[in-house]
Structure 1
Amino acid sequence: MSVEIRTLKTSEEVNAGFRVFLRAMVGLPLGDVDAVEVTDPGRYLGALDDTDVVGGADSYGSWLVVPGGARVPHAAVTHVGVLPTHRRQRILSRLIARQLADIAERGEVVASLRASEAVIYERFGYGVASSAQSARVVLRRAALRPEVPPGGRIRLVDAAADTALLAGIHDQAVWPGAIGRPAGWWKLQELLRKTHPVSQYVVVHSTDGVDDGYAAYHPEDTVGWFTSTEKTVSVTDFVALTDSARAGLWRHLLSLDLVDVLVFESVALDDALPLAVVDRRAVELGPVRDETWLRLVDVEAALRARVFGDGDSVVLEVNDALLPANNGRFEVTPKSVTRTSVPADLSVGVETLAAAYLGGTRWQHLAATGRVGVHDPDAARRLDELFGTASLPFSGTVF
């Protein structure tokens, strides 16, 4: 019997789709979760073999901050998987194609995901738009420089009781690459804490009485804590809306008693922490890893939403095999984006445009590796001026 692709309608179907995702991912220890509580209604697509759900692709309705600070409607794609018994049957391709069509119909301008494998999603038009790394800090060597701002007030809060407080702070995020965290995302964090309890601490920072940042952290290996020679604390969520909040949260974390090592699980590639300490070698940065896989669902709307730098105009030809409405030539200037019929300076697949869209990948690097068709040798340089940003994009949210 042929496999049908459709929206999962009942709670039983949604939970069956979620179980498929867990089975497909092999190593996710999420335990007994009611998927209805952590998903957006009507967005979970399933592949059904007769009545059995054998694959799925889900998404949250959200927003994405683009260069210049605008927020565009965004689909946070997640829970993608196909049972091993049904792989190599184009089920994933059909799911993603249907999902992109649905996202476009909803009017969402972009989609993004976190990829379990790095070779799957480019063929569907996704490109790596932001990267991240970890940071390991040896606290006995990590004195802050005297010039670092003092920061404001720090207070401990209960993560379970104060979810709305933390969500309200994060909802003010303005850095390029930040995404809105929907209610289902926060609910899943609550369920994970119950399923895998750890001694988690959350501190909130305020400047002049206004909450403007928070950090969530927990100790590792609590069983051997008092005999360990390298007591380690992991920072799992770090949100700073202001320089004051960033400095104040650093001061708190770097002065924790009974702690030898502080590990930030994810920071931007241009995070300022190494510049803030006297001994830069106290901060050891981990390997760079891909973070945001971005898909431009409406290329014209996405280009018009972001701010461009100064520079000469470029005519960019875009090719999109899955969403033909994106095909065309676009003249990009510092002030406008318009469709045009004049010859292109540079041609590009939608996945490569996505990689450069937030400013995380340079056009000249893309040209040097053959990922763009160059008709004007100077076009990549001009695009770097137009697409350049003051800071590298970073999301900081796993979903």
Structure 2
Amino acid sequence: MPDIRVLGTDAELLESSKLFRTAMVGLPPAPLDPDRVRELFEPGRTLGAFVDDAMVGTADSATSGLILPGGRRVSHAAVTHVGVLPTHTRRGVVSALMRCQLRDARDRGEVVATLRASEATIYERFGYGSASTSHTLELDVRRAVLRPSVQEGGPVRLVEPDEAWRLLPQIARNHAPSRPGTIDRIPLWWRGRELSAQFDRGPNYVAVHGVSGSEDGFVRYRPVGVDRWFGGHDRTVVVDDLFAPTHTAYLGLIRFLLTLDLVDTFVFTAMPQDDPLPWLFTDSRAVRLRRAGDETWLRVLDVPAALRNRAFAGDGAVRLRIVDDLFPENTGTFEISAAGAGPVAGPPQLEMGVSAFAATLLGGTRWHQLERAGLVRVLDETALPQTERLFATDCAPFAGVMF
């Protein structure tokens, strides 16, 4: 088994970053200044896996928060940079890293951990479940006629990069969304976005919504294929980040984008499953789904705390047994109702593993889907529809950010 160590020196952190990109194969070079590498790593949370004193794997995380259905924020480990050198795959390196990292996060008192999975078959065995979906939408500007019923938004202005990287974190902090699955945009995350933008020499633009001093939304966008821009017939703008927690901000920023000249297509890289964009236009086919895929992979570290902080809907109650092989202290039977959830001594009506439970926690996965896949064991036929109602949410879960 590899030796797992906490990385602390600048040289170790740089080696970790290089190792991760080597493992991922298709990532561009990292915009890392060796003298400022610590700005992108939280002390004590970057792990290295060593074999014969050589680093062969790494995993990183950061202290964050996540919104559960009902609006409560719980402590959250934002997991990223998990990679193993191709010379050492399938030798238990990832397993050792994951077990060490998850135990550390639980010991820190964090209720959940989330990550973005490069492969969908890796993380379920460590208790992660696919808990939200992200859509990439393509908007054909030539067909994009807004319905007369679509309301106006507020004022929008462009901001220069120096102002943007000061202002955007403030906007996100002051207008935090309540959508389930939202994660904190922590300072480390912002610093990474800023350095990436500086490293990318192509055009990048930022617009903010709201009057000066009271901004409540923003959009970051960039053109692609600029070498063929003038005289082209498919001039595309990629929207990397649409932060619009209010209806007014959403409509104001969409209306602003539609005023851009010389644009044939917008590509919105990350939108929630229930985004209203197609309904804004008289021709809903102006918006095309380019891609739908898993977004948040969630691991429940403290099952009782997650249940206590989640809101449930409907009437009645169910008894649910959750089994966690990695953290036996999570295993137990819980009674769940709209009044709350907690341990109970009675026999369960449903039974499932912790990864399946994680998939349902944010409301993005329906219980009948998991039952059909054999991931939920039904001991009382009346319990499944009742559980569907209890876990129902008003909107689809969505994080909206990569980390």
TM superposition score category, shorter chain reference? over 0.9
Structure 2: how far apart are the matches of 1:190 and 1:168? 14
Instruction: Map 1:317-356 to 2 at 5 A.
Output: 317-356=321-360
Instruction: Give the residue type in structure 2 aligned to 1:203.
Output: A
* Residue 173 of structure 1, CA deviation: 2.4
Q: Secondary structure at the match of 2:365?
A: coil
* Residue 338 of structure 1, CA deviation: 1.1
Structure 2 unaligned spans of 5+:
none
Q: Secondary structure at the match of 2:146?
A: coil
Please name the residue that 2:154 is paired with: 152
2:289 matched to 1:290? no
Partner deviation per Cα, 1:255-308 (whole Å, 9 max, x = no partner): 211111111111111100111111101111123200000000101101111111
Partner deviation per Cα, 1:156-210 (whole Å, 9 max, x = no partner): 1123432131112223222111101221111111221222222111110016962
Partner deviation per Cα, 1:33-74 (whole Å, 9 max, x = no partner): 144221111100111223321111100111101111111100
Instruction: Map 1:167-316 to 2 at 5 A.
Output: 167-171=169-173, 172-206=176-210, 210-316=214-320
Q: Secondary structure at the match of 2:138?
A: strand
Q: Does structure 1 retain, via aligned residues, the 8 Å contact 2:79–2:114?
A: yes
Q: Secondary structure at the match of 1:389?
A: coil
Partner deviation per Cα, 1:136-165 (whole Å, 9 max, x = no partner): 111121111111120101011123432131
Structure-2-length-normalised TM-score = 0.96
Structure 2: how far apart are the matches of 1:385 and 1:377? 14
Q: Secondary structure at the match of 1:161?
A: helix
Consecutive aligned runs of 4 or more in structure 1 exceeding 4 Å deviation: none
Tell me whether 166-175 or 205-214 shows the greater mean CA deviation: 205-214
Structure 2: how far apart are the matches of 1:26 and 1:189? 21
Distance 1:209 1:88, change over 3 A: closer
Tell me whether 208-217 or 151-160 shows the greater mean CA deviation: 208-217
Q: Does structure 2 retain, via aligned residues, the 8 Å contact 1:160–1:190?
A: no
* Residue 329 of structure 1, CA deviation: 0.5
Q: Does structure 1 retain, via aligned residues, the 8 Å contact 2:278–2:284?
A: yes
Which residue among 73, 79, 86 is the counterpart of 1:77? 79
Distance 1:159 1:178, change over 3 A: farther
Q: Does structure 2 retain, via aligned residues, the 8 Å contact 1:62–1:182?
A: yes
Structure 1: how far apart are the matches of 2:7 and 2:234? 48
Please name the residue that 1:7 is paired with: 6
2:140 matched to 1:138? yes
Structure-1-length-normalised TM-score = 0.97
Q: Does structure 1 retain, via aligned residues, the 8 Å contact 2:234–2:265?
A: yes
Structure 1: how far apart are the matches of 2:211 and 2:280? 19
Instruction: Map 1:159-170 to 2 at 5 A.
Output: 159-170=161-172
Q: Secondary structure at the match of 2:131?
A: strand
Percent identical among aligned pairs is: 46
Tell me whether 136-145 or 161-170 shows the greater mean CA deviation: 161-170
* Residue 23 of structure 1, CA deviation: 0.8
2:51 matched to 1:52? no
Partner deviation per Cα, 1:370-397 (whole Å, 9 max, x = no partner): 1111101121211111110010001110
Q: Does structure 1 retain, via aligned residues, the 8 Å contact 2:137–2:269?
A: yes
Tell me whether 375-384 or 203-212 shows the greater mean CA deviation: 203-212
Instruction: Give the residue type in structure 2 aligned to 1:170.
Output: A
Structure 1: how far apart are the matches of 2:211 and 2:198? 32
Q: Does structure 2 retain, via aligned residues, the 8 Å contact 1:304–1:337?
A: yes
Partner deviation per Cα, 1:290-348 (whole Å, 9 max, x = no partner): 00000001011011111110121011100111111110001001011110121001001
Q: Does structure 1 retain, via aligned residues, the 8 Å contact 2:164–2:206?
A: no
Partner deviation per Cα, 1:83-113 (whole Å, 9 max, x = no partner): 1112221111011001010000111100000
Please name the residue that 1:21 is paired with: 20
